């Protein structure tokens, strides 16, 4: 009698364990898919023409939470200095000149963040990051 009860309990545990693990696997696969987001980067130069001249444009698949600066460094050669506030970008693709007061600013989805690019995380799919060279 004890052997039959033990066999039933073991069979039930195996049955429940088998089906209980299925939704967890689906959830983890979906979570892995949602961790990747698409982000488009655009470089613009407003110093030479009245219209914003697009210099380059690239789209990337990145892990959600990646910083704006991390992707920028993968895309183009970037010169920068570090401070307690974060990075200060001096050149992208060799463009920028502190002596002539030419500096890079950036926006994410049309809004200028209040933090440096190495502190700004990308969280929204299909975000648009625009770096603009301006004279100040």
Per-residue HEC secondary structure of 103-134 comes to: EEEEEECCECCCCCCCCCECCCCCEEEEEEEE
- From the list 25, 60, 57, the residue with the least C-alpha distance to 132 is 57
Output the pLDDT for position 48.
76
Average pLDDT, integer, range 3-12: 50
Mean of all residue pLDDT scores within the chain: 82
Q: How far is residue 111's CA from residue 97's CA, in Å, rounded to a whole number?
A: 24
Task: Answer yes or no: is pLDDT of 136 > 60.
Answer: yes
Q: Residue 89: which H helix or E strand, with range? A: strand 86-92
For the whole model, what pTM was predicted?
Answer: 0.72
Average pLDDT, integer, range 89-95: 94
Output the pLDDT for position 104.
95
| Beta carbons within 8 Å of 96's beta carbon, 6+ residues apart | 79, 89, 90, 102, 103, 104, 133
Q: Around Cβ 76, how many Cβ atoms within 10 Å?
A: 17
Sign of CA dihedral 115, 119, 122, 127: positive
Average pLDDT, integer, range 28-35: 57
Exposed (0-12), middle (13-18) or buried (19+): which is 70, by Cβ within 10 Å? Answer: middle
What is the pLDDT confidence band of residue 135, given thresholds at 50, 70 and 90?
A: confident
- From the list 80, 71, 45, the residue with the least C-alpha distance to 129 is 71
DSSP-derived secondary structure for 23-52 = HHHHHHHHHHHHTEEEEEEEEEE-SSSSS-
């Amino acid at each position: 009698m004890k052997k039959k009860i033990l066999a039933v309990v073991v069979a039930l545990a195996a049955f429940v364990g088998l089906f209980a693990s299925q939704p967890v696997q689906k959830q983890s696969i979906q979570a892995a898919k949602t961790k990747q987001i698409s982000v488009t980067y655009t470089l613009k130069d407003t110093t030479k023409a009245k219209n914003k001249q697009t210099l380059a444009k690239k789209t990337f698949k990145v892990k959600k939470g990646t910083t704006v600066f991390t992707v920028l460094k993968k895309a183009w050669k970037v010169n920068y200095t570090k401070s307690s506030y974060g990075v200060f970008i001096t050149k992208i693709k060799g463009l920028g000149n502190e002596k002539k007061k030419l500096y890079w600013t950036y926006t994410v989805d049309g809004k200028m963040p209040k933090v440096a690019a190495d502190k700004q995380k990308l969280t929204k799919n299909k975000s648009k990051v625009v770096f603009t060279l301006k004279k100040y």
